[in-house]
A and B are shown apart, each in its own frame.
Chain A
Amino acid sequence: MVRRRHRPGLAGLAGVALVAPLLALVVRAFADEWRSPALLPQRFGLRGVRIALGADTGSAFANSAEVALLTVVAALVIAWPAARVLGERRLRHPAPVFLLLAMPLLVPSYAVGTGLTEWFIRLGLDGTTLGLVAAHLTVVLPYVTLVLLAGFGPRLTAIEEMGSVSGLPPLRRLRLVTIPAAAPTVAAAALLGFLVSWSDYGSSLAIGAGRPMLPVVLLPFVGSDPQVAATLAVVFLAPATAALVFTVRAGRRPL
Chain B
Amino acid sequence: MLAPAVLVMLVLFGGAMAGAVRTSVTPLGGHAGAGAWSTLLHDSEFHDAVAFTLRTAVLSTGLAALLAVLVALAARRSGTVVRALLAAPVPVPHLLVATVAVLWLAPGGLAERILGGLPFDVVHDRAGAGVVLVYIYKEVPFLVVLLLSAMGQGYRERDEAAAAVGVSPAQRLRWVLWPTIRGPLVVGCIVVFAYVAGAFEVPLALGPSYPPTVAEYALQRSDADLISGPSVAAAALLVSAAASIVLAALAVRAAKDPQGG
Chain A interface residues toward B at CB < 8 A: 4, 6, 8-12, 14-16, 18-19, 21-22, 24-25, 28, 36-39, 77-79, 81-82, 84-86, 91, 97, 100-101, 103-119, 134-135, 137-138, 141, 145, 191-192, 195, 198-199, 201-202, 205, 215, 218-219, 222-223, 226, 229-230, 233, 236-237, 240, 243-244
Contact = CB atoms under 8 A, between A and B. Distances in A.
Given A14-B74, A82-B5, A141-B5, 20 more contacts: A19-B88, A39-B113, A78-B8, A81-B2, A103-B9, A106-B190, A106-B194, A107-B13, A108-B215, A110-B198, A110-B218, A111-B234, A115-B19, A135-B16, A198-B93, A205-B219, A219-B201, A222-B95, A223-B205, A240-B92
Interface of A is mostly: helix
Contacts of B190: 105-106
A84 B1 contact: yes
A233 B12 contact: no
Interface of B: 1-2, 4-6, 8-10, 12-13, 15-23, 71, 74-75, 77-79, 81-82, 84-86, 88-89, 91-96, 98-100, 102-104, 106, 108, 110, 112-114, 116, 137, 141, 190-191, 194-195, 197-201, 204-206, 215, 218-219, 222, 230, 233-234, 237-238, 240-241, 244-245, 248
A230 B199 contact: no
A106 B241 contact: yes
B205 A105 contact: no
A230 B141 contact: no
A15 B85 CA distance: 5
B191 A236 contact: no
Contact of A116 (B12, B104, B219, B245): B12
B5 A11 contact: no
Nearest to A86: B2
A105 B206 CA distance: 24
Given A115-B15, A222-B98, A11 B201 contact: no
A121 to B, nearest CB: 10
A230 B110 CA distance: 14
18 contacts: A6-B78, A37-B112, A39-B114, A81-B5, A86-B2, A91-B2, A115-B17, A118-B20, A138-B9, A191-B91, A199-B95, A199-B96, A219-B95, A219-B205, A226-B102, A226-B106, A236-B95, A240-B93
B16 A22 contact: no
A243 to B, nearest CB: 7
B113 A38 contact: yes
Contact of B1 (A15, A28, A82): A82
A107 B89 contact: no
Contact of B108 (A10, A36, A103): A36
Contacts of A236: 93, 95-96
Given A4-B77, A15-B88, A36-B113, A111 B20 contact: yes
Interface hub of A39, A192, A222 (most chain B Cβ within 10 A): A222
B199 A108 contact: yes
A107 to B, nearest CB: 4
Nearest to B240: A108
Contact of A114 (B84, B94, B103, B230): B230
Nearest to A222: B205
B199 A109 contact: yes
A82 B113 contact: no
The 7 tightest CB contacts between A and B, nearest first, are A108-B198, A15-B85, A199-B93, A115-B20, A115-B16, A118-B19, A11-B75
Contacts of A117: 19, 23, 230
A244 B91 contact: yes
Contacts of B204: 219
Contact of B244 (A18, A91, A100, A107): A107
A14 B86 contact: yes
Given A138-B16, A233-B100, A215 B5 contact: no
Contacts of A101: 5-6, 9
B191 A105 contact: yes
Given A11-B75, A81-B5, A100-B9, A16 B85 contact: yes
Contacts of A218: 95, 99
A18 B95 contact: no
Nearest to A150: B149
B12 A138 contact: yes
Given A108-B215, A114-B20, A202-B199, A226 B13 contact: no
Given A114-B230, A202-B215, A24 B241 contact: no
Contacts of A37: 108, 112-113, 116
A201 B95 contact: yes
Contacts of B13: 100, 103-104, 107, 112, 138
